[in-house]
Amino acid sequence: MRTFLFVSMLAMALLSSPSPLRAETYPDQPVRVIVPFSQGGSTSVTARYFQKVIQDQKLLAGMPMPVVHMPGAGGTTGANTVKDAKPDGYTLLLWHVGMCGAEAMGNIEFSHKDFTPVAATGSQSYCITVREDSPYKTIQDLFDAAKAKPDTITAGANLGAASHIGLILAEQAAPGVRFRYVQSGSTSKIYTAILGGHVEVGLLGTPTLHQVACKGVRPLAILASERDPVLPDVPTLKEAGYDVEYSMTNWWLAPKNLPADRVAVLEKAFKTAMETPEIKKNFESSSMTLDFLGSADLGNSIESQCKSIKAIAKRLRGEE
Task: Give, for all 320 residues of the chain, the pLDDT tens digit.
Answer: 444 444 444 444 444 444 333 446 999 999 999 999 888 778 888 999 999 999 999 999 999 999 999 998 778 899 999 999 999 999 999 999 989 998 998 888 899 999 999 999 999 999 999 999 999 999 999 999 999 999 999 999 988 888 999 999 999 999 999 999 999 988 888 999 999 999 999 999 988 898 889 999 999 999 998 999 889 999 999 999 999 999 999 999 999 999 999 999 999 999 999 999 999 999 988 788 899 999 999 999 999 999 989 999 999 988 87
Report how far residue 284's alpha carbon sits from residue 219's, in angstroms, rounded to the nearest whole number. 20
| Domain locations along the chain | 30-124+247-316, 125-222
- Helix H or strand E segment including 183: strand 180-183
- Residue 285: predicted pLDDT: 82
Q: What is the pLDDT of residue 158?
A: 87
Cα–Cα distance measured from residue 71 to residue 95, given in angstroms and rounded to the nearest whole number: 12
The domain at 125-222 falls in which architecture? 3-Layer(aba) Sandwich (3.40)
Query: CATH topology for 30-124+247-316?
Result: D-Maltodextrin-Binding Protein; domain 2 (3.40.190)
Q: Which parts of 150-241 are beta strand (E)?
A: 154-157, 180-183, 201-205, 217-222
Q: How many residues does the chain have?
A: 320
Decide: 279 and 250 in contact? Cβ < 8 Å.
no
Distances (CA, A) of 209 to 133, 187, 218, 228: 16, 10, 9, 11
pLDDT (0 to 100) of residue 208: 86
Task: Answer yes or no: same fold for 30-124+247-316 and 125-222.
Answer: yes
The predicted structure's pLDDT at residue 6 = 43
